[in-house]
Amino acid sequence: MPVEDVVARARNGLAQIPRVPGAPKPDALLVADGVRRSFGGVNAVDVEHVEIQKHVITALIGPNGAGKTTFFNLMTGFDKPDTGSWVFDGTPLAGVAASRVAKSGMVRTFQLTKALARMTVLDNMRLGARDQPGEGLFTALVKPLWAPRERAITEKAMTLLERFKLDTKKDDFAGSLSGGQRKLLEMARALMSDPTLVMLDEPMAGVNPALTQSLLGHITDLRDSGTTVLFVEHDMHMVRHISDWVVVMAQGKVVAEGPPSEVMADQAVIDAYLGAHHDTDLGDDALLDEGGVIDAEAEAEADAELSPTTKAEEKAP
């Protein structure tokens, strides 16, 4: 079946799914059960059951501290739960190291970008490749064994950099990029391994309004080319605009899920947000059409905060 039909079928299939937390999906790519993680008595994540549908864009929303990032960390092996199991693309992943999770096809980006500031844009991209050349000592010592693979990786990196309009920056240090460009670089790098599922933690945060439309386009393109997308975002205009399905977390639990228009009209969801911060704008498509997705001043401030040379090192684990 052509990929457009696969995607259309997956999106249409969502209409049949009951609007209840933990609802079963016709074609779930990621299924988590009883996943709990507490920090000093606070249940950061306490997810009884959740399924992420393949071939669609799912938004994971919820107030600050709801457990969204912790959930990403757990699923991708960057943190370990107290209890729980999850299956990705048919493979149980509890206890599997982050590098092996990525190799299995589940790749994530970080809320605070982890682009390596003192490395060039192109070298950052090369790091994202699934099989590094020269991984084994023997291979490393015999150039004819890795040179073709190395060339292929560079070509692929350049193709992706062109797609994300970063090709002219390939020899610049990642630290010299703006906050928004670093977000794009991180997304491009995640794609180096041809992931089945891309998990984006606040892809729009710190992105200049001039870049937001293209970023939205990149995300829908991913879905349309057959990649499943799960993203965390506070920008409700973006959530409304591009997600096929929305999962809402509050206090570690999944409290609601459904299509964006329904979820955002749900009183429990509004309460979950307004309970945490009263000024949350739950989004309106009309505003998107005017191009004003993110307040330009806030964006400039966010960009200024991301001091180019220090940030990546500060946040490196």
Ligand X SMILES: Nc1ncnc2c1ncn2[C@@H]1O[C@H](COP(=O)(O)OP(=O)(O)OP(=O)(O)O)[C@@H](O)[C@H]1O
> Least separation, in Å, of the C-beta of 228 and Mg ion?
20
Which two structure tokens, joined as six digits, stand for 243?
Answer: 């997600």
> Least separation, in Å, of the C-beta of 114 and ligand X?
15
Q: Is the CB of 192 or the CB of 200 nearer to ligand X?
A: 200
Q: Does 113 sit near Mg ion (CB under 5 A)?
A: no
Number of residues that bind Mg ion (CB under 5 A): 3
What is d(CA 183, CA 206) in angstroms, rounded to the nearest whole number?
8
Q: Is the CB of 157 or the CB of 199 nearer to Mg ion?
A: 199
Whole-number Cα distances in Å, 131 to 124, 128, 230, 272:
14, 9, 24, 42
Contact positions vs ligand X (CB under 6 A): 39, 42, 44, 62, 64-70, 111
Q: Does 228 sit near Mg ion (CB under 5 A)?
A: no
44 binds, among Mg ion, ligand X, none (CB under 5 to 8 A by kind): ligand X
39 binds, among Mg ion, ligand X, none (CB under 5 to 8 A by kind): ligand X
Q: Is the CB of 72 or the CB of 146 nearer to ligand X?
A: 72
Residue 91, phi then psi, degrees to nearest 5:
-110, 125
168 binds, among Mg ion, ligand X, none (CB under 5 to 8 A by kind): none
> Least separation, in Å, of the C-beta of 247 and ligand X?
12
Q: Is the CB of 58 or the CB of 69 nearer to ligand X?
A: 69
Q: Does 109 sit near Mg ion (CB under 5 A)?
A: no
> Least separation, in Å, of the C-beta of 273 and ligand X?
11
E strand segments, the chain: 28-39, 42-53, 57-61, 83-88, 91-92, 106-108, 197-201, 228-232, 245-250, 253-258
Q: Does 251 sit near Mg ion (CB under 5 A)?
A: no
53 binds, among Mg ion, ligand X, none (CB under 5 to 8 A by kind): none
Whole-number Cα distances in Å, 308 to 109, 170, 178, 313:
18, 16, 7, 10
> Least separation, in Å, of the C-beta of 204 and ligand X?
13
Whole-number Cα distances in Å, 206 to 24, 120, 226, 262:
34, 21, 27, 28
Name, in order, each residue with C-beta under 8 angstroms of 204's C-beta and a sequence gap of 6 or more: 183, 212, 215, 233, 235, 238, 293, 294
181 binds, among ligand X, Mg ion, none (CB under 5 to 8 A by kind): none
From the list 69, 73, 113, 212, which residue makes contact with Mg ion (rule: CB under 5 A)?
69
Which two structure tokens, joined as six digits, stand for 32?
Answer: 């988590």
DSSP code for 202: S
Query: In the block, which residue shows the tokens 């370990």?
Result: 80
Which two structure tokens, joined as six digits, stand for 107?
Answer: 């790749």
Q: Is the CB of 66 or the CB of 122 nearer to Mg ion?
A: 66
Query: In the block, which residue shows the tokens 């670093």?
Result: 182
> Least separation, in Å, of the C-beta of 62 and ligand X?
6
22 binds, among ligand X, Mg ion, none (CB under 5 to 8 A by kind): none
Residue of this chain nearest to Mg ion (CB atom) = 69
What is d(CA 236, CA 245) in angstroms, rounded to the nearest whole number?
13
Q: Is the CB of 155 or the CB of 281 nearer to ligand X?
A: 281
Binding site for Mg ion (CB under 5 A): 68-69, 111
